[in-house]
Amino acid sequence: MFETLSALAEPNRLRIVELLRAGPQPVGEISQRLRLRQPQVSKHLQLLKEVGLVGVQPVAQQRVYQLRPEPFRKLHAWVEAYRGLWDARFDELAVVIEDLKQKEKENARHDRRKK
Amino acid sequence: MFETLSALAEPNRLRIVELLRAGPQPVGEISQRLRLRQPQVSKHLQLLKEVGLVGVQPVAQQRVYQLRPEPFRKLHAWVEAYRGLWDARFDELAVVIEDLKQKEKENARHDRRKK
DNA sequence: CTCGAATATTCTTCGACATGAATATTCTTT
DNA sequence: AAAGAATATTCATGTCGAAGAATATTCGAG
């Protein structure tokens, strides 16, 4: 999960992933479409492969890279866990603030006894 | 979008965000629950605030931080764009490979004329 | 089996950034 | 106004990783 995030947290890698959304592509094509030097593209793809975001399929001397669904599924699931925020809980803050004031009083009591 | 990703692509920041899912919390609480030194927590929160992942609400000398829905909405939307992968398109690769072989032949023709 | 095309790997350099330590700021309480 | 709690900021240091250049590898074609 975290590996997926940091893999995507790099501009060129993100561009590569978004380009691959259009379909599988060989390194050379990615390289020229994004105006990136071939070695960097290869390195990024290597990284993306390690975290499972892409898969490779050799075709002659070319390597065709394509997106793999798993990481996206998981990302989706992760974000879903934050769905509770969608319909904002406005009073939450008020509650927390009350809690704080409450604890404060208790601490005050303890402090008086200890020091 | 990209800023959100790189903000989350840091272990402790991710932990902070996940902790905040349980509800708004003041810096000190986050600090001790995650066993992180206060200054680091403050810095991370600053970063998170800049990219809009969290908001602050001052309560006396404390600052209560809470998650903000927007970035999560956007992340969700972004991942949604990759939903096409869910029900895998197996033949895609075959198609691309055919394309490649086709282009290859064309290039061969051009090469013969140029060189 | 040599050549050339496509891709991968290695090595170095450089900047970004997380951490730690120390200090500054803000607000409450007395 | 002074003291102390909660948080923010500054500065120095070390690490990681992206980019560049050069080279290695793989594979099909003649």
* Bases in strand C with any atom closer than 7 Å to a protein CB: 4-10, 17-23, 26-30
Q: Which residue has the higher pLDDT, A90 or B81?
A: B81
- Give the model's pLDDT for residue B104: 55
Single-letter residue type at A52: G
Residue B92 to residue A57, Cβ atoms within 8 A: no
Residue B81 to residue A57, Cβ atoms within 8 A: no
- Give the model's pLDDT for residue A80: 95
Q: What is the CA radius of gyration of chain B?
A: 24
- The pTM is what? 0.84
Is residue B3 over pLDDT 70?
yes
Chain segment A57-68, per-residue pLDDT in tens: 999 899 999 999
- Give the model's pLDDT for residue B115: 33
Is residue A71 over pLDDT 60?
yes
CA distance A113 to chain B (A): 23
Proximity of residue A42 CB to strand D below 7 A = no
Residue B23 to residue A59, Cβ atoms within 8 A: no
Residues of A in contact with B52 (CB under 8 A): none
**Residue in B57, B73, B88 closest to A69 by CB:** B88
Q: Could you tell me the distance in Å between the CA of residue A26 and the C1' of nucleotide C5?
A: 13
DSSP A24: -
- Give the model's pLDDT for residue A112: 43
pLDDT band at A102 (very low <50, low <70, confident <90, very high): low
Q: How far is CA A14 from CA A19, A26, B31, in A?
A: 9, 17, 32
Q: Which residue has the higher pLDDT, A59 or B92?
A: A59
* Bases in strand D with any atom closer than 7 Å to a protein CB: 4-10, 17-23, 26-28, 30
pLDDT band at A94 (very low <50, low <70, confident <90, very high): low
Backbone angles phi, psi at A25, to 5 degrees: -145, 150
User: Is-contact B85 A69, C-beta < 8 A?
Assistant: yes
Question: Interface of chain A against chain B, CB under 8 Å?
Answer: 2, 5-6, 8-11, 14, 21, 23-26, 57, 59-60, 62, 64, 66-69, 72-73, 75-76, 79-82, 84-86, 88, 92-93, 96-97, 100
Spatial distance between the Cα atoms of A15 and A47, rounded to a whole number of angstroms: 14
Is residue A89 over pLDDT 50?
yes
Is residue B51 over pLDDT 90?
yes
- Give the model's pLDDT for residue B88: 62
pLDDT (mean) for B14-21: 97
Proximity of residue B27 CB to strand D below 7 A = yes
Give the whole-number percent of chain B exceeding pLDDT 90: 70
Of the candidate ranges A74-78, B12-16, B100-104, the one whose mean pLDDT is the lowest: B100-104
pLDDT band at A49 (very low <50, low <70, confident <90, very high): very high
Average of per-residue pLDDT values in chain A: 85
Question: Which residues are CB-contacts of A32 (< 8 A; sequence separation ≥ 6)?
Answer: none
Chain segment A8-39, per-residue pLDDT in tens: 999 999 999 999 999 999 999 999 999 999 99
